């Protein structure tokens, strides 16, 4: 007789036989980066030749739609409806990757070839996001086999290909297909667990807000001997302006950018005891960096961060003896739903003016990805926690939002679904640089967790739709 245990065992047998690794290897071999227009046909190929036939084999009806915004990648939708009286789940993934950065991977590795080394599978997209959606669909396949070709629930899928360009067009697309995409809950995977060994559910994402700080003083550079010490140096003014925005220990000084009443009690409660780490060689967690008094988990899941993504004055690769005409920094704020991003630029202007930096301009300010959050106590979140804990025999850590960005806001705003993100990666996976990899232990657990979730969705005891 079909059972939950044998559904999970089936999924794990697929994983352990290396068939999952080989399936992922085939997906990774398609260089579907959306950040290089020369790979547009690879992006098409990923959806049309790799994913669509697989979904159709699993009984989905699939379609590939042009992006509503000219010049951005297509969007695949698929659905598998058994009984409208049963729950309908929406899942999401992205088939595009960042650039390959071919020349930067260490010896023996390359972006478009899956390379196994110990407990790691290297390759572009292994973690972000091919490995994650491939795990979930492979687990679905195991449950379908176990149940003899039925699921007991309805499943819809959106697989976009412009995520690595900011999910451009996704909001317009979902708005135009609201009825077709209607669902009770979003259950999907991207990003890292809080630690590699801690199963995690994120009920939202932080948003991203970008702006340039510009000090533009004169038409061109002037001789550093005749003018240095006499005329204002834009690089120095910009450095001090940044120093007024954030102190040398990473504490944000523009206090209007931050949650007005500190970390909300409900967020603090859910993050109580939440570990952060396991990034390995990727970066160190510096206890003295960031907002004093917050735990590492509160710093990245319950608070806002300011990051200077790039800055330039003159030509660092070819300096000349001149006081540069201009200095520019491209900056980012990662923020939670506890702050209103429309206040960021006005607050910064007030701050810069008060600090005597009237000549520092704020250009190109705006939201790139909006923040989102489902109440961590939502019935669908509790249901998913219970299902995962039953499958993995371990506590699941819930976080009120992932530290990174995902287009969850689109699904909340337009479809009203609660968000259940179940990440399979970890924060040392180097997903946007060279040497991206997936750790096999969390991936294997993710396979088991999703086999359990897909199974439980076909049983009694799912939350009633909102």
Q: What are phi and psi of 233, to 5 degrees?
A: -95, 115
Whether the CB-CB separation of 461 and 384 falls below 8 Å is answered with no
Tell me how many degrees the CA angle 92-93-94 measures, rounded to the nearest 5: 140
Is 146 a binder of Zn ion (CB under 5 A)? no
Is 409 a binder of Zn ion (CB under 5 A)? no
Nearer to Zn ion among residue 128 and residue 445 (C-beta):
128
Nearer to Zn ion among residue 126 and residue 387 (C-beta):
126
Q: From the CB of 71, what's the least distance to Zn ion, in Å? A: 19
DSSP state of 407: T
Q: From the CB of 273, what's the least distance to Zn ion, in Å? A: 28
Nearer to Zn ion among residue 334 and residue 351 (C-beta):
334
Separation CA 224–CA 202 (nearest Å): 52
Nearer to Zn ion among residue 189 and residue 326 (C-beta):
189
DSSP state of 353: H
Nearer to Zn ion among residue 62 and residue 76 (C-beta):
76
Query: Whose CA is closest to 397, among 187, 203, 194, 206?
Result: 194
The two tokens of residue 213 are 């700080």
Is 128 a binder of Zn ion (CB under 5 A)? yes
Nearer to Zn ion among residue 314 and residue 404 (C-beta):
404
Q: From the CB of 432, what's the least distance to Zn ion, in Å? A: 6
What are the Cα distances from residue 381, in Å, to 34, 265, 423? 32, 19, 14
Nearer to Zn ion among residue 160 and residue 456 (C-beta):
160
Is 160 a binder of Zn ion (CB under 5 A)? no
Alpha helix segments (H runs only) across 1-39: 4-16, 19-28
Q: Which residue is nearest to Zn ion (CB)?
A: 128
Nearer to Zn ion among residue 154 and residue 162 (C-beta):
162
Of 128-136, 223-231, 276-284, 316-324, which part binds Zn ion (CB under 5 A)? 128-136
Nearer to Zn ion among residue 128 and residue 141 (C-beta):
128
Q: From the CB of 136, what's the least distance to Zn ion, in Å? A: 17
Q: What are phi and psi of 272, to 5 degrees?
A: -60, 120
Q: 4-16 vs 440-457: helix axis angle to the nearest 10? A: 150
Bridge partners for 76 per DSSP: 64, 159
Of 125-133, 136-144, 252-260, 367-375, which part binds Zn ion (CB under 5 A)? 125-133
Is 79 a binder of Zn ion (CB under 5 A)? no
Q: From the CB of 68, what's the least distance to Zn ion, in Å? A: 21
Of 42-50, 127-135, 352-360, 410-418, which part binds Zn ion (CB under 5 A)? 127-135
Separation CA 262–CA 290 (nearest Å): 14
Q: What is the CA radius of gyration of the chain?
A: 24
Nearer to Zn ion among residue 128 and residue 338 (C-beta):
128
Separation CA 48–CA 42 (nearest Å): 10
Of 74-82, 126-134, 250-258, 380-388, which part binds Zn ion (CB under 5 A)? 126-134
Bridge partners for 328 per DSSP: 214, 312
Q: From the CB of 178, what's the least distance to Zn ion, in Å? A: 26
Of 124-132, 201-209, 223-231, 437-445, which part binds Zn ion (CB under 5 A)? 124-132
Residues in contact with Zn ion, counted by CB under 5 A, come to a total of 1
Nearer to Zn ion among residue 128 and residue 409 (C-beta):
128
3-state SS track over 253-294: CCHHHCCCCCCCHHHHHHHCCCCCCCCHHHCCCCCCCCCCCC
Of 73-81, 123-131, 221-229, 454-462, which part binds Zn ion (CB under 5 A)? 123-131
> What percentage of the chain's residues is helix, strand, coil (to nearest 5)?
35, 20, 40
Q: From the CB of 176, what's the least distance to Zn ion, in Å? A: 25
Q: From the CB of 23, what's the least distance to Zn ion, in Å? A: 21
Separation CA 256–CA 311 (nearest Å): 24
Of 61-69, 122-130, 411-419, 452-460, which part binds Zn ion (CB under 5 A)? 122-130
* Residue located via tokens 């004055």: 313
Is 96 a binder of Zn ion (CB under 5 A)? no
Backbone dihedral region for residue 119 (phi beyond 0: left; psi -120 to 50: alpha; all else: beta):
alpha
Separation CA 128–CA 119 (nearest Å): 17
Binding site for Zn ion (CB under 5 A): 128
């Amino acid at each position: 007789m079909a059972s939950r245990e044998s559904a999970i065992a089936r999924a794990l047998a697929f994983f352990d036989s290396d068939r999952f690794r080989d399936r992922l290897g085939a997906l990774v071999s398609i260089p579907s980066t959306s950040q290089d227009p020369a790979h547009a046909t690879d992006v098409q190929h990923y959806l049309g030749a790799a994913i669509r036939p697989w979904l159709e084999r699993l009984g989905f009806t699939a379609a590939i739609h042009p992006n509503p915004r000219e010049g951005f990648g297509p969007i695949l939708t698929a659905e598998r409806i058994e009984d409208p009286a049963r729950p309908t789940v929406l899942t999401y993934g992205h088939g595009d990757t960042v650039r390959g950065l071919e020349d930067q991977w260490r010896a023996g590795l390359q972006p478009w070839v899956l390379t196994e080394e110990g407990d790691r599978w290297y390759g572009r997209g292994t973690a972000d996001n091919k490995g994650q959606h491939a795990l979930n669909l492979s687990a679905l396949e195991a449950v379908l086999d176990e149940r003899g070709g039925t699921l007991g629930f309805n499943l819809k899928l959106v697989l976009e290909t412009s995520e690595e360009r900011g999910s451009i067009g996704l909001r317009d697309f979902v708005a135009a297909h609201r009825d077709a995409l209607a669902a009770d809950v979003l259950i999907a995977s991207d990003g890292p667990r809080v630690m590699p060994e801690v199963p995690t559910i994120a009920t939202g994402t932080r948003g991203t807000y970008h702006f340039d700080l510009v000090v533009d003083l004169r038409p061109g550079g002037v001789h550093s001997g005749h003018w240095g010490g006499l005329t204002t140096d834009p690089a120095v003014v910009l450095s001090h302006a940044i120093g007024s925005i954030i102190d040398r220990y990473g504490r944000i000084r523009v206090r209007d950018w931050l949650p007005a009443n500190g970390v909300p009690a409900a967020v603090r409660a859910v993050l109580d005891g939440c570990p952060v780490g396991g990034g390995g060689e990727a970066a160190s967690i510096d206890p003295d960096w960031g907002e004093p008094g917050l735990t590492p988990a509160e710093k990245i899941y319950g608070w806002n961060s300011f990051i200077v993504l790039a800055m330039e004055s003159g030509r660092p690769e070819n300096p000349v003896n001149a006081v540069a005409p201009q200095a520019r920094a491209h900056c980012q704020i990662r923020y939670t739903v506890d702050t209103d991003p429309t206040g960021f630029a006005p607050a910064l202007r007030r701050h810069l003016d008060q600090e005597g930096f009237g000549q520092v301009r704020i250009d190109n300010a705006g939201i790139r990805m909006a923040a989102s959050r489902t109440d961590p106590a939502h019935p669908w979140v509790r249901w998913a926690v219970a299902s995962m804990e039953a499958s993995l025999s371990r506590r699941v850590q819930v976080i009120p939002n992932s530290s990174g960005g995902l287009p969850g806001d689109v699904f909340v705003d337009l479809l009203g679904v609660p968000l259940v993100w179940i990440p399979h990666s970890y924060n040392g996976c180097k997903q946007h640089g060279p040497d991206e990899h997936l750790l096999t232990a969390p991936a294997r657990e993710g396979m088991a967790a999703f086999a359990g979730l897909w199974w439980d969705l076909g049983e009694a005891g799912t939350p009633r739709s909102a």
